């Protein structure tokens, strides 16, 4: 198992904020999984499973965290087919963009709505990432996880998932996704390509995809009540302070303008929550994972 001392979270998250962790452990083999509990005991701190870091806001300073990065980058590969359905296996460390290119090339439909999301497959499953009516977990067939020091393959019927959450029975939030099988539908490549193209340009026109961000900061409190609209009406669209801002393109995207820090970001988040609470009586909850979690 590779171990990197004092890794900087700012270099490992798309928001580019945060201090340093105790260590980073890179998991690449099944032997690494066997050694993990002992290594975590020796290092102390709390483990944080890290994918592509695109949904993480890490606090400043020296953080009592050990980053655990499952770099299982095998696949995607077709394992079987049944009628117009196809089963595709993929490692948790594979970028979503690579998986979507594979789907496009092979004419496998289902996940076109996820185009433009910058995560790893493990992170997309753990967050049940979704967009344009597509939800990652709805296309899962099974998922292989390390839970309670055992490797288990859990059928999708036994996992729990909802809006931006995913759970494994007996695992609460303590599981590492290693690989997964998706069930997709065979379709025409040009139809899939057109859908991806349309979704990507739609996303790009409404979200600051090239800025340093972690995507949407808050969950939408209800399907017809987007957090972005509440933030905009509360006067936060384009608001900037301390090197961070709420995007002028999409108010639910918090941006690090290059000289921000996590304290400034957290202050802005709290201020926005308080303003929305006061104005609409609605409590926004973060979609972004704030680490370490202090409550």
Q: Which residues are catalytic?
A: 164, 216, 287
Angle at which helices 96-106 and 189-206 pack, to 10 degrees?
Answer: 150
Nearer to ligand FAD by Cβ, of 49 and 196: the residue is: 49
Determine, following the binding rule CB under 6 A, whether residue 152 of this chain makes contact with ligand FAD.
no
Nearer to ligand FAD by Cβ, of 254 and 264: the residue is: 254
Least CB distance to ligand FAD at residue 135 (A): 9
Separation of alpha carbons 71 and 176, rounded Å: 11
Determine, following the binding rule CB under 6 A, whether residue 56 of this chain makes contact with ligand FAD.
yes
Least CB distance to ligand FAD at residue 207 (A): 6
Residues 6+ positions from 80 with CB-CB distance below 8 Å = 86, 87
Nearer to ligand FAD by Cβ, of 83 and 223: the residue is: 223
Show the tokens assigned to 119.
Answer: 């995560």
Stretch 102-141 residues interacting with ligand FAD (CB under 6 A): 117-120, 122-124, 126-127, 129-131
Determine, following the binding rule CB under 6 A, whether residue 176 of this chain makes contact with ligand FAD.
yes
Separation of alpha carbons 141 and 6, rounded Å: 37
The answer to whether residues 256 and 244 touch, using CB atoms and an 8 Å cutoff, is yes
Show the tokens assigned to 94.
Answer: 């594979």
Least CB distance to ligand FAD at residue 116 (A): 6
Least CB distance to ligand FAD at residue 290 (A): 10
Alpha helix stretches (DSSP H) within 88-183:
96-106, 121-127
Q: How many residues of this chain interact with ligand FAD, rule: CB under 6 A?
A: 33
Determine, following the binding rule CB under 6 A, whether residue 10 of this chain makes contact with ligand FAD.
no
Separation of alpha carbons 3 and 242, rounded Å: 34
- In this chain, which residue has its C-beta nearest to ligand FAD? 123
Determine, following the binding rule CB under 6 A, whether residue 227 of this chain makes contact with ligand FAD.
no
Q: Per DSSP, what are the bridge partners of residue 20?
A: 8, 62
Helix or strand holding residue 66 (H, E): strand 65-70
Count of C-beta atoms within a 10 Å radius of residue 276:
21
3-state helix, strand, coil in the chain (%, to 5): 30, 35, 35
Nearer to ligand FAD by Cβ, of 18 and 215: the residue is: 215
Show the tokens assigned to 161.
Answer: 């998932």
Show the tokens assigned to 10.
Answer: 């700012």
Of the candidates 21, 1, 3, 26, the one whose C-alpha atom is nearest the C-alpha of residue 11 is: 21
> Which residue in the set 89, 152, 250, 289 belongs to the binding site for ligand FAD (CB under 6 A)?
289
Span near ligand FAD by CB under 6 A; candidates 174-182, 187-195, 237-245, 268-276: 174-182
Determine, following the binding rule CB under 6 A, whether residue 168 of this chain makes contact with ligand FAD.
no
Stretch 229-258 residues interacting with ligand FAD (CB under 6 A): none
Determine, following the binding rule CB under 6 A, whether residue 89 of this chain makes contact with ligand FAD.
no
Q: What residues line the site for ligand FAD (CB under 6 A)?
A: 14, 48-56, 70, 92, 117-120, 122-124, 126-127, 129-131, 175-177, 207, 209, 213-215, 289
């Amino acid at each position: 198992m590779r171990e990197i001392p004092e890794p900087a979270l700012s270099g490992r998250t798309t928001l580019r904020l945060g201090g340093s962790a105790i260590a980073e452990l890179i998991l690449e083999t099944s032997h690494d999984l066997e050694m993990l509990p002992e290594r975590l005991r020796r290092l102390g701190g709390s483990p944080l499973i890290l994918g592509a870091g695109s949904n993480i806001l890490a606090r400043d300073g020296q953080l009592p965290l050990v980053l655990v990065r499952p770099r299982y980058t095998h696949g995607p590969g077709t394992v079987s087919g049944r009628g117009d359905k196809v089963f595709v296996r993929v490692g948790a460390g594979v970028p979503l963009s690579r998986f979507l290119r594979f789907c496009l090339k092979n004419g496998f439909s289902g996940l076109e709505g996820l185009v433009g999301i910058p995560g790893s497959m493990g992170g997309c499953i753990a967050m049940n990432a979704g967009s344009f009516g597509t939800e990652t977990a709805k296309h899962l067939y099974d998922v292989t996880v390390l839970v309670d020091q055992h490797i288990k393959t859990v059928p999708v019927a036994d996992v729990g998932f909802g809006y931006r959450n995913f759970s494994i029975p007996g695992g609460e939030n303590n599981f590492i996704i290693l690989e997964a099988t998706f069930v997709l539908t065979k379709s025409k490549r040009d139809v899939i390509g057109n859908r991806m193209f349309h979704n990507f340009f739609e996303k790009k026109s409404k979200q600051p995809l090239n800025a340093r961000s972690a995507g949407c900061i808050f969950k939408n409190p209800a399907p017809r009540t987007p957090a972005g609209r509440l933030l905009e009406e509360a006067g936060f669209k384009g608001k900037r302070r301390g090197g961070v801002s709420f995007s002028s393109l999409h108010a639910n995207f918090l941006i690090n303008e290059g000289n921000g820090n996590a304290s400034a970001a957290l202050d802005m988040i709290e201020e926005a929550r308080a303003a929305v609470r006061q104005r609409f009586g609605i409590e926004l909850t973060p979609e972004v994972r704030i680490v370490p979690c202090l409550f």
